[in-house]
Amino acid sequence: MIAMTHKRSVRVAIIGAGMSGICMAVKLQDAGIDSFTIFEKADDVGGTWRDNTYPGLTCDIPSRYYSYSFRPNPNWTHLLPPGPEIRAYFQQVAHERGIRPHIRFGADVSRAEYHDGTWRLTTAAGEETFDVLITATGVLRVPRYPDITGRETFAGAAFHSSRWDHSVTLPDKRIGVIGSGSTGVQIVAELGGNVRQLKLFQRTAQWICPMPNLRYSLLTRTALRRWPKLNGLPYRFWGWYVRYFFGKAPIRPGLQRAVVTFLSRWNLRLSVRDKQLRAKLTPKDLPMCKRLIFAGHFYRSVQQPGVEVITDAIDHIEPRGVVTADGTLHELDVLVYATGFDARAYVRPLEVIGETGLTLDEAWADGPVAYRSVAVPGFPNLFMLMGPHSPIGNQSLIPVAEDQADYATWWINQLRDGVVHAAAPTEAATKEYNESMKAAMPQTIWVTGCSSWYLGKDGLPELFPWTPETHHELLRQPELAHFDVRTA
């Protein structure tokens, strides 16, 4: 398409001021587009790193690679970045780039409808129209609570891990943690041996890959601040490590998968000497079938005095604590639900209505589908960051968001140039793409028999079955034949 001299103003609505929303805003700024508004229902930026503040919160991606390519951070203190540092990083980027004036805090978008060539957004303040809608609402953001009888009767402090109550003192308490996924592991690793009593209610054991969280020296941080170009070296190294080692391990048999399996199995065997405890902590599925957990001292923490791993099923909760199926009452002062999130929430509870009146919920009645993780047929000028089947299982989310934001920016530039009025992927192209993903799934570790939040209604993982590099290539340049393109 040939760009015209005069560029029209394109109004862009971005929903969410987390990692993806900030990324999208910067990409638009770099393209010379300043006519965007970010709708954020909370009172600050940061998304999941704003909401989650539990003890031990750490990202499982190396900090040098959990950074925007356009804004390296020389100030990371650890190999794996602590949650407060990540939140501060996103706040700093938003401040440096002058993004905050574009954000409407406390603005919860309840409805978005495509009508007469524009997107009409509804908030408590009224309606507004935009030419392009970008959803940057994150992946794991809607807390999921367990369906346990008597949950509301507990007399002590009780909260979800993503809604941590910091008014509750911990060292003198008997604490129960329900859930042994990544969050539960991090909480137990942090609190084990540091509180009066800690009980982990484990439904399913998890494989844990050893990754000590080393501290970066003051000299290293000073050098990276003094010579900014040096930041590119660790970014490229850790990018290679994630993409070509852990990025390949879950999706195809080979050396990478064998190494991760070996490390996970021997980490457990060498770290837990007590055979009974080791049996409790030994998963029945293969490493990486569920989300692989990286933790340096979880096994050490569960072996501290006062820490107990309970594998009996929970029967009910009563005012004094948790009662397991064997009839034992586990008396507690604090109950933490580390029970995860609704992995299929995507833009929900926002109601999104396409050009024919079809809602996104209706389009996804059989499970969320998208064209190359970014767009949906029948929803023109709608682009999703972290949409269905994004490679969240084998790639850092920041480069994923950058690729998706670049793709959306390409289309927005076409609208600015006046050569495109609306664009949405065709049904045929979207169906073909999703069928090719299903055909590729059998080679992945995710279909080897475990039950995880990765699985959709059809029993297949809602993940990307190829390498991170493949996702990058799929979004590098739009294939116009795959789109219903309407000219101005």
Q: If we measure between CA atoms, which residue out of 251, 26, 51, 60 comes closest to residue 140?
A: 51
Sequential DSSP letters for 61-89:
S-TTTSSBTTB--TT--BSS-BHHHHHHH
Which ranges in 242-333 belong to alpha helices (H)? 255-271, 275-281, 298-302
Half-sphere exposure of residue 52: CA atoms within 13 angstroms, side-chain side: 27
Q: Pseudo-torsion of CA 432, 434, 436, 437, nearest 10°?
A: 170
Architecture (CATH level 2) of domain 151-214+248-337: 3-Layer(bba) Sandwich (3.50)
Contact yes or no for 36/12 (Cβ under 8 A): yes
Distances, alpha carbon 148 to alpha carbons 231, 308, 339, 442, in Å: 48, 21, 12, 34
CATH tag for 12-45+99-142+343-486 (out of 3.30.300.30, 3.40.190.10, 3.50.50.60, 3.30.420.40): 3.50.50.60
* Residues present in the chain in total: 488
* Strand, coil or helix: 393: coil
**pTM of the prediction?**
0.95
The pLDDT of residue 5 is 52
Q: Give the side-chain half-sphere CA count within 13 A for 441.
A: 23
| Range(s) of the chain covered by CATH 3.50.50.60 | 12-45+99-142+343-486, 151-214+248-337
pLDDT at 459: 86
What are the average pLDDT values for consecutive 10-residue runs of the chain, which has 488 residues?
A: 65 98 98 97 96 96 97 97 98 98 97 96 97 94 93 98 97 97 96 97 95 93 95 95 93 95 96 96 95 90 97 98 98 97 84 96 93 98 97 96 98 95 97 97 94 86 95 96 92
End-to-end CA distance of the chain: 13
Supply the pLDDT for residue 396: 96
